[in-house]
Structure 1
Amino acid sequence: MKPRKRLVLLLWMLVCSATTEAIEPISTSIAVGMAAALTGFLASYQNILYYFNECCRPEWISFNRTGLEADLNRKLFGQHIASRIILKAVNGFMSNENPKKPLVLSLHGWTGTGKNFVSQLIAENIYREGMDSSFVHVFTSELHFPHSSQIETYKIQLQQWIKGNVTNCARSMFIFDEMDKMHPGLIDSIKPYLDYYDKLDGVSYRKAIFIFLSNAGGESIIQTALDFWTSGRIREEIELRDLETVLSLSVFNNKKSGLWHTSLIDKNLVDFFVPFLPLEYRHVIQCVLSEMEARRIPPDKNVADQVARDLIYFPKSERIFAVKGCKTIESKLDYYT
């Protein structure tokens, strides 16, 4: 017998024993008191479980708009477009108790620009357990879907995984990393879950969040950033409208993209294509100082400068953008501190 059932049975036996054997007023009072105590215990027992064990309740899932805004402003560097879109999209979705469809974000950009980091920030400001929450699910193409010959099996598994987890908690989050390495056609298997359906087989997916991370489209983002730099315009002048159309077309027509010719784009089920701009030297400096702060190391601009200068930049002659963004900052900082 499970411990919980054993405890409840024991309490009931104590109450029953007191009520059947006692005939004096004082004993009767004790029995009534025990019964009342048991009723209160049973009523609060579930709440105690909710307190100590993560569950799909507001105690564990509650959006912190102020926290997300502060994190995007203080921890994400060089991404004025992405920060603005993410905050508005997530805030609008989480504030709606009856959304028409799941929130679908497609994050694009070169390596080390902050796509994974933003996913982490979103999770940390929705789930008390952050990325460790049992309601946050990360799929990596090369790990979960390695063999092209198994694509039909993967489609069935993916549908089952998503259906099972959303059934368990409507406010589930699914992060698909390495979309540029995903087998074309695989992601289409979850298209019905992202559409404007009230329920599918009794399950509503409208409160779930789907985030796709991809390097696909990075070239077009870089080219736009270079064009602005060449014309003498600052990167902060770049707007979403300068990138969104070319980005969605680039991803849709790229055979190396997991979103190649996907119905998700064709049917306009992706709510936002979020561009992540290539990072400049000044942004790398900010990344280094932020990492030093996270490690509780006194900020040292000389060390930050050494780390930043050690990275590779492109184009080679101008050295404008860091090839790997802030991706290798942690290991580089280990060398200089």
Structure 2
Amino acid sequence: MKVARMCLLLLVLSTTCPLVNAFDPITGAVVFGVGTFLSRKIYNYFQESCDPSWIAFNATGLEADLSSKLFGQHIASRIILKAVTGFMNNDNPKKPLVLSLHGWTGTGKNFISKMIANNIYKEGTNSSFFNFFVSTYHFPHSNQYLNYKAQLQQWIKGNVTNCERSMFVFDEMDKMHPGLIDGIKPFLDYYDKLDGVSYRKAIFIFLSNAGSDKIAKTALDFWKAGKDREDIQLKDLESLLSLSVFNNNQSGFYRTSLIDKNLVDFFIPLLPLEYQHIFQCTMAEIIARGMKPNVHLAEMVAKDLNYFPKTERVFAATGCKTIESKLDFFL
């Protein structure tokens, strides 16, 4: 048995095995088939591939990440967990999952997209199936949007052909040409296949600052009325948010068919962060660096940030985005 195993391994590694010469044609074909199978197994073990050993959704991990790492976003946490879990557990979705996250800088939009990727792909955001685009970097010239559109469509088609569980994240959507966004529309619609390719198991996430003023105003109104922040519900913001970005000619969603055709599954507002959330972010960063929890240090960092409106000073202008650099400064 040991000799046979050694020969099969050598065969897999394309090394001549003396026993193979003694096999009859049928046995040789069997050994070749087994060798090919094992070769593929060994390759997939070391090289990322589109199979369960590399792609396995961890709902418990996503829930833990959202509850322990994302602060002040009760609406987003609940919707993200339900939407992603339901989609990933559906073997036959009717369309791709399309999420649009809106909020000020530092409220957690990028952070959420990374959490989702880290709980789907073994390689997380380093996975070859995770695709991240920044509009001002990848599509900088508006007069070239037709070229960008063709390139982007080919990129999406090629990646989904390679793996149906591909994920595409578009940052700074408010700065993207509306025509380019409409170029994505066919991939998000209720089609079984387009040119032989099914996009129904892919995930598309749009990140944008568009609508932030509406979100902040709603949060401030609740605060002024003495209501709890957690009383703000999706129904208080979703329709307001979709109409705002659709009718805003400064938004990448301006008059786009993605909204007109209801292809975005959820418009998810991320609320501006308050002092307590900045404190939590700072403590989390301190612990992540392997340091002991330091309340005094976290308070110094949180107090050093700028807050708005000027009179009330309720919300942090940059959210948790500058925590790392602030912490480096105080250390």
Q: Which amino acid aligns with 2:266?
A: F
2:247 aligned to 242, 253, 258, which one? 253
1:62 aligns with 2:56: yes
Corresponding residue for 1:227? 221
Q: Which amino acid aligns with 1:120?
A: K
Aligned ranges 1:1-337 → 2 under 5 Å: 10-11=15-16, 14-19=18-23, 40-337=34-331
- Name the SS of the counterpart of 1:185 in structure 2: helix
How many residues matched?
Answer: 321
For residue 8 of structure 1, report the CA deviation from its aligned partner.
6.0
Offset from partner CA, 1:173-215 (integer Å, 9 cap, x none): 0000000111122110011110000000000000000000000
Tell me if structure 2 keeps the 8 A contact 1:184–1:255: no
- Name the SS of the counterpart of 2:53 in structure 1: coil
Cα 1:9–1:329 change in 2 (3 A) is closer
Q: Distance in 1 between matches of 2:78 and 2:50?
A: 28
Offset from partner CA, 1:73-92 (integer Å, 9 cap, x none): 00000000000000000000
- Name the SS of the counterpart of 2:168 in structure 1: strand
Tell me if structure 1 keeps the 8 A contact 2:55–2:122: yes
Question: Which structure 1 residue ranges, 5 or more long, are not aligned?
Answer: 21-31
Tell me if structure 2 keeps the 8 A contact 1:11–1:38: no
Q: Distance in 2 between matches of 1:330 and 1:315?
A: 24
For residue 149 of structure 1, report the CA deviation from its aligned partner.
1.4
Once structures 1 and 2 are overlaid, which stretch shifts more, 210-219 or 315-324? 315-324
Q: Distance in 2 between matches of 1:36 and 1:204?
A: 34
Q: Distance in 2 between matches of 1:100 and 1:144?
A: 30
Cα 1:73–1:8 change in 2 (3 A) is closer
Tell me if structure 1 keeps the 8 A contact 2:12–2:38: no
Tell me if structure 2 keeps the 8 A contact 1:222–1:277: yes
Q: Distance in 1 between matches of 2:16 and 2:134?
A: 49
Q: Distance in 2 between matches of 1:161 and 1:15?
A: 47
Corresponding residue for 2:6? none
For residue 46 of structure 1, report the CA deviation from its aligned partner.
1.1
Question: Which structure 2 residue ranges, 5 or more long, are not aligned?
Answer: 1-8
For residue 319 of structure 1, report the CA deviation from its aligned partner.
0.9
For residue 16 of structure 1, report the CA deviation from its aligned partner.
4.8
For residue 256 of structure 1, report the CA deviation from its aligned partner.
1.4
Offset from partner CA, 1:136-158 (integer Å, 9 cap, x none): 00011011101111111011011
Aligned-pair identity in percent equals 65
- Name the SS of the counterpart of 2:54 in structure 1: coil
Tell me if structure 2 keeps the 8 A contact 1:108–1:218: yes
Tell me if structure 2 keeps the 8 A contact 1:187–1:258: yes
Cα 1:258–1:6 change in 2 (3 A) is farther
Tell me if structure 1 keeps the 8 A contact 2:258–2:264: yes
Corresponding residue for 2:3? none
Tell me if structure 2 keeps the 8 A contact 1:252–1:260: yes
Q: Which amino acid aligns with 1:165?
A: N
- Name the SS of the counterpart of 1:11 in structure 2: coil
- Name the SS of the counterpart of 2:264 in structure 1: coil
Q: Normalization by structure 1: what TM-score?
A: 0.91
Q: Distance in 2 between matches of 1:77 and 1:7?
A: 50
Q: Normalization by structure 2: what TM-score?
A: 0.93
Cα 1:36–1:163 change in 2 (3 A) is closer
Cα 1:310–1:163 change in 2 (3 A) is same
